[in-house]
């Protein structure tokens, strides 16, 4: 197995990974495994808690709107996107979906400035790119439909019908959320440095593949 040094040796070169993932493809599990191996923080639901504390807004507001688009999607796509990247409002629109997204984006930017880390979803690739970050790795984890359904059956303990509905519903929500805030297609593989298809890979094999890629990009013990 490719071995990247843990801790300080590895992190002489700051590493930021963003992982967009299809529900059922194993992106979350892969991100967690990478976090353990690389010994760097992993931010998924943690972003909600941190954003809640940062905004002094109840965590439930963030959870209700988590990876859900706001209103007026056509206006967002046609009328321009950068207003979503403005600083969050502390006024009447404090708990609007767009404003909550701004709080999360601000947290993502600040964390990326301070440390090596892994971000799961939440348009983190777009947030960093739009904020002038250039040295980060964009990953997209996906799989064919039967694989995603089987993974959901196994992990969530549901039958095939329920798993299929979850895969379709959640992936549509994630796709709509991404297009709403970026104007881009979430599953456009050309947007990513490394798309990872887990259809014929175990999660451990997918992690191995990513570690090999990181080594080729210069994230290794010698840096």
Quote the pLDDT of residue 202: 96
Q: The whole model's pTM is what? A: 0.78
How many residues appear in the chain?
223
Q: Which residue has the tokens 């996906």?
A: 142
Residue 41: exposure state from Cβ atoms within 10 A (0-12, 13-18, ≥19): middle
The pLDDT value recorded for residue 12 is 62
- pLDDT value of position 44: 86
pLDDT along the chain (223 residues), means of 10: 46 86 97 96 74 45 45 38 45 58 85 93 94 93 98 97 98 94 95 98 98 92 45
- Long-range Cβ contacts of 31-36 (<8 Å, 24+ apart): 31/118, 31/120, 33/203, 33/204, 33/207, 34/118, 34/207, 34/210, 34/211, 35/118
The pLDDT score that the predictor gives to residue 94 is 45
Which pLDDT value is given to residue 81?
39
What local confidence, expressed as pLDDT, does residue 107 receive? 85
Cα(192)–Cα(67) distance, rounded to whole angstroms?
19
Give residue 64's pLDDT.
43
- Domains contained in the chain, CATH given: 15-206 (3.40.50.300)
| pLDDT, position 96 | 59
Alpha carbons 171 and 177: distance in angstroms, whole number = 10
């Amino acid at each position: 197995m490719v071995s990247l040094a843990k801790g300080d040796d590895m992190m002489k070169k700051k590493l930021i990974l963003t992982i967009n993932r299809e529900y059922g493809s194993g992106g979350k599990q892969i991100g967690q495994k990478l976090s353990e191996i690389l010994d760097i923080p992993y931010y998924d639901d943690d972003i909600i808690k941190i954003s809640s504390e940062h905004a002094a807004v109840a965590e439930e507001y963030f959870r209700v709107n988590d990876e859900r688009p706001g209103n007026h999607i056509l206006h967002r796509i046609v009328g321009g996107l950068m207003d979503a990247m403005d600083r969050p409002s502390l006024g009447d629109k404090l708990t609007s979906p767009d404003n909550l997204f701004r709080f999360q984006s601000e947290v993502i930017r600040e964390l990326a400035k301070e440390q090596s880390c892994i971000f799961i979803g939440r348009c983190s690739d777009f947030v960093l790119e739009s904020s002038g970050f250039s040295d980060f790795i964009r990953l997209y984890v996906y799989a064919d439909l039967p694989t995603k359904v089987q993974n959901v059956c196994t992990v969530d303990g549901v039958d095939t019908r329920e798993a299929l509905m979850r895969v379709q519903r959640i992936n549509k929500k994630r796709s709509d959320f991404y297009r709403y805030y970026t104007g881009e297609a979430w599953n456009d593989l050309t947007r990513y440095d490394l798309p990872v298809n887990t259809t014929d890979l175990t999660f451990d094999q997918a992690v191995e593949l990513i570690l090999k890629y990181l080594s080729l990009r210069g994230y290794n013990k010698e840096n």
